[in-house]
Each structure stands twice: as structure tokens, then as C-alpha cells.
Amino acid sequence: MGRYDGYLQGLSLAAILILAPLALQTMLAGDEAQVVYVAVPVEVENESLPTNTSGGEEARAPELNRSEVARIATFNIKVFGETKMGKPEVISVLVETVLRYDLVAVQEIKDIDQTVPYDFLDAINNQSNNTWAMLLSPRSGLQEDDRTSQEQYAFYYNTSVFEPIGNGSLYNDSVDDHFQREPFQARFTLLNATGASTEFDLSLITVHTKPAAAVAEINAMNQAATTYLANHPDEDDLVLLGDFNADCTYASEQDLSNSQLGGGNYTWLVGNDADTTVAQSSCAYDRILTNGDLSGRLTESWGIDRVFDDKDISDHFPVWFDIRR
């Protein structure tokens, strides 16, 4: 065997050179994950994301299928106005994307005539086997200093899965003027697979923060949530979701951990290491937070659907989570 000694020594050295960096990287990654999920309260870690790059179906909790869960998403559709609505190839991808879910909070609707949200709803219903409906906000940016950036929000929902309670409303920001675009808040009843009420309802508040004021507006979301729950004392289950601009140059991990949403009262489903943008940069701008386990219906399943790579469609990917029906 002496003639193989040099070969074996070389092989051992190669193994050391390969495995040592991997071991070091693993230890560092473990420390980083601990920092991420301790600094910002996260009860559901991003274990599903690596298998979700082709669309997210693999990220479902294995014991549940799509008939057993309702899938809720947040989606910033970049500059969603008449120009984009006039591109059939873009709208086709957007419709296919929305139909992956049961309820979608859409941000950045920019149409002064306010016809685009209804045209998009028609496009959804033209492709869906189910009936979809919409809760549409008034144009946000109601304060004098905010009117240069007025946008609308919409909740698009499958009527066989969700039923709205009321029409939704913009958060009243007239006193403090914390937001450039006031958050849109709405409440829904969850339906079971036969279309009957599950007797479970939840409220959602969606926002598109001003990038330069992201930290201040993230803090103000706590006040918006607290005010909403005070005005709806019979509501136990709340979801905050949208384009928080909660990463990169707009908000650091320390900013988030020190924020009024970071004190442990909320579960951050989307971790700081996520990438919700189409761009080359890796930024977790889009977030989903809950004020608990949603009466036991919250699953450990969430994801980012990278179903397109064209910035003409959007510069954000949709981000979703599941609740049990």
C-alpha cells in the first residue's frame, strides 16, 4: 500500500481544505440566525424558503394541502396604473400570480381615475374558476404634505374562502400625520371548504411605508394596530402586512428590534435574511406580522414566490402565509 500513501495524504489534505471552511460557515450562520431571530421576535423561522424558489408549493406544512388552508399574500405591484394595465402580457402574469392565493393585499395602485383596480378584478374573474371580489381603499395621502404620493390599497379575495365584514377603512392619521400613505384596515370571516362560516375572523392592516421614513412609520404601525384593536374589542386576531421597506438602507435589524413592533408582542413571519425583491440586492422589504397564533390557525408555512423576474411586472415578489380552514 506504500505507493498510495502520497495519494491518501493528498486526499486527506483536500478534505480538510474543503470541510474546514464549510464548518466555519455553518458556525457563523448559526450565530447569524440567532441574532436575526432573537433581535427581532420570530416564532416561525424561514425553513421553507430554500425549497420555495420555484413557486412555493413545497413550503406548505406537509400535513396540510391547499383545500385545508387559506393562503394570504402581500404584493407591492410597482406603479400599478393605466400604463401597466395596458400591457396584456404583464397583466396575464399578475393575474396568474394573484390566483395562487385566496386573499391578496395589494399596494402601490396609482390611477387617478381609479378604474385600474376594477379592470384588474375583471381580469382576475375572467381567468378564475371562482368568484373574486375586492375591498378598495380611498386614495391615501390625505394630509396636505402627503398629496404628492397618493396611492390606493386593495384586498382582492376569493369569495369562496373569505367574506368581508364591512368595507374597510384608512387609518385616521389626521392628528399625528405619521404616515405618508395611511394604512388600509379591513376585517374578514374565514369560510370552510363547503363555503360555510368557520366562526373565525381576522383583521388585516396593510401599509406602504415611505422609504426615507420607514423606521418612524414602522413604529407608528404599532399605534395604528393598538387603535384598531381598541375600536374593535371583539377582535383577537390581527395581521400587519405590506411593503414596510424594513431592511437595507431604510431600516437596520437593530432599528427593527428596537421598534415598537419588536418588543415580543408580534410574530414576524418573514425574517431579516429573506429577499423579497426582484433586484440583485437582497432586502426583506415586505413583511407579515401577527399578534399571536391567530387562534391556533397559524401554520408554520410561509414563502416568497419568485414566479417572475421581469421588473416591468413588479420590483417586489409576493410574500404569503397559510392559516388553517
pLDDT (tens digit per residue) in 165-175:
999 999 999 99
User: C-alpha cell of 104?
Assistant: 391578496
Q: Show Cβ contacts of residue 185 under 8 Å, excluding neighbours closer than 6 positions.
A: 168, 169, 170, 171, 203, 204, 205, 206, 224, 228
How many CB atoms sit inside 10 A of residue 14's CB? 10
pLDDT at 64: 84
Q: Which three cell numbers stand for residue 259?
A: 421598534
76 grid coordinates: 407591492
Q: Tell me, what's the pLDDT at 131? A: 98
pTM as predicted:
0.81
Find residue 123's DSSP bridge partners: none
| Predicted pLDDT of residue 232 | 98
Instruction: Indicate the SS3 state at residue 299.
Output: strand
pLDDT value of position 63: 64
Task: List the chain residues with pLDDT less than 50.
Answer: 1-5, 7-61
pLDDT at residue number 58: 40
The pLDDT score that the predictor gives to residue 5 is 47
The Cα 64–Cα 61 span in angstroms is: 6
